[in-house]
Amino acid sequence: MESYGRNGRRVALVAGLRTPFAKAGTVLKPMSAQDLGRAAVAELLERTSLDPREVDIIVFGTVVPSVLAPNIAREVALLPVFPKGIPAFTVSRACASANQAITDAADQIVLGHADVAIAGGAESLSNVPILHSRRFSDVLVSAGRAKSLGGRIGAFSRVRPRDLVPITPAIAEPSTGETMGQSAEKMAKLNHIPRDEQDQFALRSHRLAAAGTQDGRLTAEIMPLYIPPAFSTWATSDNGIRTDTSLEQLAALKPVFDKRYGSVTAGNSSPLTDGGAAVILMSEEKARSLGMKPIAYVRSYAYAALDPGEQLLQAPVFAAPKALERAGLTLADIDLVEMHEAFASQVLSNLQGFESQAWAERAGFPRPMGEVDRSRLNVMGGSIAIGHPFGATGARITTTLAHELRRRGGQFGLMTVCAAGGMGFAMVLENAA
């Protein structure tokens, strides 16, 4: 099998940037996902001095789309800095939506349909659409169609108090009704992940993210953002990172999703978050001709899925060995691993799955992928501390992995992302140095 992009169309990651990530309902609340995505892309162009006319395609991911502007990618493409003729489309693969945007853009480059692509994602969980009940929607439609004031009043007279109860989107599986948190709880139980291991992992996430922010490695990937409408306040770093948390504080938190017997808490879960992130991808040749220095090349990727009623967030265990196989590599070749941290119990379950013969066989491999060296794992923390704007996380992880691989002089990096619907994603990046 010819490896990805070896047809002479290798995909180079030349830059990546994100907004600060902020817990939903805090500093980024006044900004929509569209605002956040546009801010990240505009600043990315500014920092790289890429001529916007060079951009052939824009792909963006988002999980809870705006009802008014569902194709967020096109709204990003209509930033005044761009010419109006850049085709753009929006993708959704739950928490791997930005990864989907990146692989779709990369595929377009490999196919020769594009030379320069911008891909990323954005999410504003402060601004999820709140729906009316079916009956109240019908009343609104009838009132809108009524030809007289009497007709309108008549339509509204049919409203009952229960019709006014709003419907908010739940982070639950449509097929099983199970929420993400309940799934994480189930995985902790099935895989025997103790509470203290989850809390230890969460603490590690905060400590490493705090260190990466302090020494500027994470900060370099974050744009300062002035907040509308007054633009007199700003955000420069992620506000979910707790420099002062401790194992004692984490241990004192009550389980959220199974209050009686559970172990998943607000401390060992990723928080609901707002943010946007984007990367620039180019064919290797185009990067060379524009004098842009690639940070990394996309070596391979893979998606996988399992029954969402089983272990909802375990599919990275199928995707990672597949991506490695497609890259012609084994875990021993991997210098850095970045795993999306939806919940500590999910990361620890995935790590356990990578070592398991039974999971390997289910994934179609004779042997397990192996044990991930913890000193190479999420070396600047992860989504538990940094936050997780669903549509944007994949672009954050891609950028961080590429930069850190470069900084450490490693050759290959592996990333994994679990996603709703029982899906998983993995990608191998190769240092372009």
Q: Report the interface residues with ligand COA, using CB under 6 A.
A: 95, 171, 180-181, 202, 242, 245, 249-250, 253, 256, 266-267, 269-272, 342
How near is the Cβ of 187 to ligand COA at its closest, in Å? 12
How near is the Cβ of 396 to ligand COA at its closest, in Å? 13
CA distances from 186 to 118, 308, 420 (A): 37, 12, 15
One-letter amino acid at 187 equals: M
Q: Answer yes or no: are the C-beta atoms of 313 and 184 closer than 8 Å.
A: yes
How near is the Cβ of 113 to ligand COA at its closest, in Å? 31
Taking the least distance from each CB to ligand COA, the nearer of 297 and 303 is 303
How near is the Cβ of 1 to ligand COA at its closest, in Å? 31
Options 206, 340, 388, 403, the catalytic residue: 388
CA distance 413 to 4: 15
Adjacent-strand bridge partners of 282: 12, 116
How near is the Cβ of 26 to ligand COA at its closest, in Å? 10
Strand intervals (E) in 306-363: 336-339
- Give the contacts of 345 (CB within 8 A, at least 6 positions apart): 184, 185, 187, 188, 191, 193, 198, 263, 264, 268
Q: Does residue 421 come out as left (phi exceeding 0), alpha (psi in the -120 to 50 range) or beta?
A: left
CA distance 328 to 103: 19
Taking the least distance from each CB to ligand COA, the nearer of 202 and 402 is 202
Asked if 113 is an active-site residue, the reply is: no
Taking the least distance from each CB to ligand COA, the nearer of 27 and 79 is 27
Taking the least distance from each CB to ligand COA, the nearer of 270 and 399 is 270
How near is the Cβ of 399 to ligand COA at its closest, in Å? 19
Taking the least distance from each CB to ligand COA, the nearer of 21 and 82 is 21
Q: Answer yes or no: are the C-beta atoms of 117 and 105 closer than 8 Å.
A: yes
Options 95, 206, 340, 403, the catalytic residue: 95
Closest CA to 164 of 142, 143, 146, 139: 139
One-letter amino acid at 88 equals: A
Asked if 132 is an active-site residue, the reply is: no
Taking the least distance from each CB to ligand COA, the nearer of 276 and 410 is 276
Asked if 418 is an active-site residue, the reply is: yes
Largest CA-CA distance found in the chain, in angstroms, rounded: 75
Catalytic sites, residue numbers: 95, 388, 418
